[in-house]
Amino acid sequence: MQNPKTPKPAKMSLAMPVAQKKPAGAKSAARTKPAARRRKIPYSAEEIHEIFRRFSIQRPEPEGELDHVNPFTLVVAVALSAQATDVGVNKATRALFEIADTPEKMLALGEDKVRDHIKTIGLYRNKAKNVIALSQRLVDEYGGEVPQSREELMTLPGVGRKTANVVMSMAFGIPTLAVDTHVLRIGNRLRIAPGKTPDEVEAAFLRIIPDEYLFHAHHWLILHGRYCCKARKPECERCVIADICKSPEKTVDVPAPLVELPR
């Protein structure tokens, strides 16, 4: 966990998840699934394994795209990212995190100034309130540290299951499967992890993702959705799993060359 007194790195970076590797014994937390109905999917276990194997070759060390310098700034960044782009959040938090990278400093800054920093982000008034409220709760209940369990994280104002899962994975190395709009779309479009709600899709993915791929699966799916299997029109000619994909929307059957992508 972060120490608020630890000097912060001089520069925020995309390549700066707080922890990259999953700790021993963390797997049981990741597999705590939300209740969901089991649906039959048109993929064999071998095909699913192959999909994630190819993702792992394309992006051996996938990283999130939200800038942060410690678990606290990660919680804030993810909470701010609801209905906003990572690029937009990063623009707003760059200056904010330089002056307030701990709950104590955020409280000292105050709601009005937090609001000024994030006013380019949708729902900024509510989000500023939540940032202050969650900072207060961290100071009051957790000694200024970010808790590691999903249950505790979800007691923080503005922190839902998705945010908790992202923080557990990126800050503490606990494998989870946070479901955002891209993961939800891929689960349903490919009919690989269908579900009406993020909880259903999370449970469906957790049932099928091989253990060795679970830790990075969240980022692989997000990046695949953001840059290839796009919402409006999937770019199937650039897709490395086009031969396996069973989406009615796919336009080609020939997979793109399997090479590691530049970061």
Binding site for ligand SF4 (CB under 6 A): 189-190, 228-229, 234-236, 239, 241-242, 245, 247, 249-250
Vertex 200 angle, CA 196 and 201, to 5°: 85
Tell me the closest approach of the beta carbon of residue 184 to ligand SF4, in angstroms: 14
What is the C-alpha to C-alpha distance for residues 163 and 157, in angstroms, rounded to an integer? 11
Nearest to ligand SF4 of 22, 189 (CB atom): 189
Nearer to ligand SF4, 51 or 114 (CB): 51
C-alpha distance from residue 59 to each of 114, 196, 262 (Å) = 35, 28, 8
Cα–Cα distances in angstroms (integers) from residue 5 to residues 2, 80, 103, 109, 135, in the given order: 9, 24, 11, 17, 16
State the nearest-atom distance from the C-beta of 228 to ligand SF4, in Å. Answer: 5
- Tokens 């609801």 sit on residue: 82
Question: Cβ closer to ligand SF4: 89 or 240?
Answer: 240
Closest approach, Cβ 53 to ligand SF4, in A, equals 15
Shortest CB 230 distance to ligand SF4, Å = 8
Q: Judge whether 189 and 225 are in contact, CB under 8 Å.
A: no
Which residue blocks in the chain are alpha helix, DSSP H? 27-30, 45-58, 71-80, 86-99, 103-109, 111-117, 124-142, 150-153, 161-172, 181-189, 198-208, 211-227
Q: Which is nearer to ligand SF4, 193 or 239 (CB)?
A: 239
Cite the active site residues. Answer: 162, 180
Q: Which one, 145 or 235, has the nearer CB to ligand SF4? A: 235
Residue 84 Cβ vs ligand SF4, minimum distance, rounded to whole Å: 24
SS3 (DSSP) at 13 = strand
